[in-house]
Structure 1
Amino acid sequence: MEDESTRRGPRRPLRLTAPQAKFLRQVWEYLATTRPGADADARLLALVCLLRAARTGVANVTSQDVRSLRVADPETTVSALTETGWLKTTPSAVLNSDAQTPAVCGLPEFVDNPWDVGAKVRTRVSGWSTGTLAHKALRKKSNGTRLAALYLTTYAAPGGGVDFTANHLIAACALDGVDELVSCLGELVTKGWLSDLPTVTATGVSAQLGEAVAPMAPEPPEEPSRPTEPRPVTADLTWPELDAVESVDERAKILVAGRESAVAEWVQAFRAEHHHGPNWAAVMAAHDWPPHSHPHGRAAETAFVLLAEEGWLDGLGRPYGLRPGARFAAGSGTDG
């Protein structure tokens, strides 16, 4: 007889909250910059240790922990982190330890909880990462592929859209260049982690989590604050100017005239702060455009289409996918 869990199908890790996702993104930024370990096996162990030591500078690690990561050579993997001094322990201490007597591994730079991580946040993110890496779709995949899957899910916006730069993912996951990245992404498409091969955009690479994985994308901040810089100067825009024009398209042109690059720059700043694109209402409010409910709301909505057609914005059809377009990325000096 089937039990309830069987009827419901396999469980997947619950999505991270915004604070939890912020912490895990800090971890990825650190790994991409510091680069402990030269290959994906060592980088995966570094990720595990960092998630455990982020508050106290100490990670308890056992031999089983290392072997469960399915690294090719456990001793070599541990040595890659200890020989550089990044992880304060010895390979023998780790590989001869067990659950009763784990190896106490030090990460001195995290002794004082520099990221101000809460205990529950750290525990939740560590558990979520472990569950994600153990996902059925990632079984028997290389550690490079598993890390790439975790990275992409961490940075995904609600709905599963994710924009990233190839160099940052390669650095964070310790992949062996673009060729390995392409191979990993292909495996993720095959297993349904990604819906299709990512596409190259003017500002990086754009991907979409598969249907079964998209619900794992982190929650957005409940009340995202708008970045104060750069803020375009639009105070002189008055809606009576729109009243004098009958055509919605002409009203849209008035809203964006001379402000195309500034709007794209504001969107870029929002993405840098929140790791996803703003909704249209946020852009309207930031630029003193009529809201959806106003009689001129259609003109504001048409302004987005106009900016997209002219290459200033992209990603209009994806939830939280709004981003600067190719024209802004190319650094054009004209806003016409």
Structure 2
Amino acid sequence: MNSRLLLAFLCIASLSTGCIIEDNGCDTCNPRHPGDVTFLWTFDGLRCDQARDVYGVNINIPGESLFNNGKYACSTADVDGITLHDFAPGSYSYNLQAVNFQNQIVFEASGTFVIDGNRTVRVDLAPTGDPTSYAYLNWNFPGGQSCFQAGVASVDIILDDLAPHNVPCTAGQSVPGLKTPALAPGEHYIEFIALDSQGRPLYYFNGGLLTRPYDPVDATYNLYTIGGASIAWRLSDGAVTFDCPASNPMVYVNFRDLNTGNWVYPLLGDGHRCSQKPIVYEFLRPGVYELRITTTFDGYEYRSNSNINVEVRPHVFPGPNSALDVTLFRRF
């Protein structure tokens, strides 16, 4: 007998218990399952007994008719949340509004959930009128190492233009993760520097963090192994080699990864005044790089030879006293 027809027959025979049939046109697929959704909520990190201006929570799930028009107490049976029953399999969106005794909205959140069996949705509602939200940060190290295995004691985090914030490494390898400060919705810059117990950098990452209004996000980053290089220079007109001139021109340093062909810095490269040498680089991926250094002085371009390579080794950081001294030759 066709399996779907048998399922339909069994449901008809037991209508008193309730039954949901999903026909997805596939006799061999694993069927998805109906279920309940349990919302567990907090209000900007506060429980119901702490958020004293919260009287109840209104729930709206488009396309669904909810008991009591979706109006629920903040706590039910000592649980800050509510369980809604008998949802068909599929994806749903929701909006939660916490109201005070005057029925004014004081906290709000929105999001989505998928039913394939019972589902729990944990929501931290944000104050209304303030669309800021936050993210839970987690980080990984190469090979799935723990903080202890990777030798990392703490992590410096730089978020947008905020000052660096140092946290224990384990804060980003826990559930739900490290909570950021409140952030405006949109794209943010984030940077991680993983340090050993002596404060030496071992792993690194920089990139983006996208936040949404009223909707905290989970963000996980894969930090990569780093090494360093130390670079200094002098100039030569072909006959005489000399140090930086009095005009102190800008000098641009760049590294081309010989494995990928990509330059580390865009355009000319990393710029510094000539007298600022040596420059110590700490956040390079291990590998071999072609080094390019350029400057312009007295109407002439000065450039390093094209055959200079720099090897960056894992967790090795040459200091100023061991800088590679490169001669920049005048181009006629």
TM-score of Structure 1 vs Structure 2, range by shorter chain: under 0.3
Report which of the two structures shows the higher radius of gyration computed on alpha carbons.
2
* TM-score normalised over the length of structure 1: 0.23
Larger proportion of helix: 1
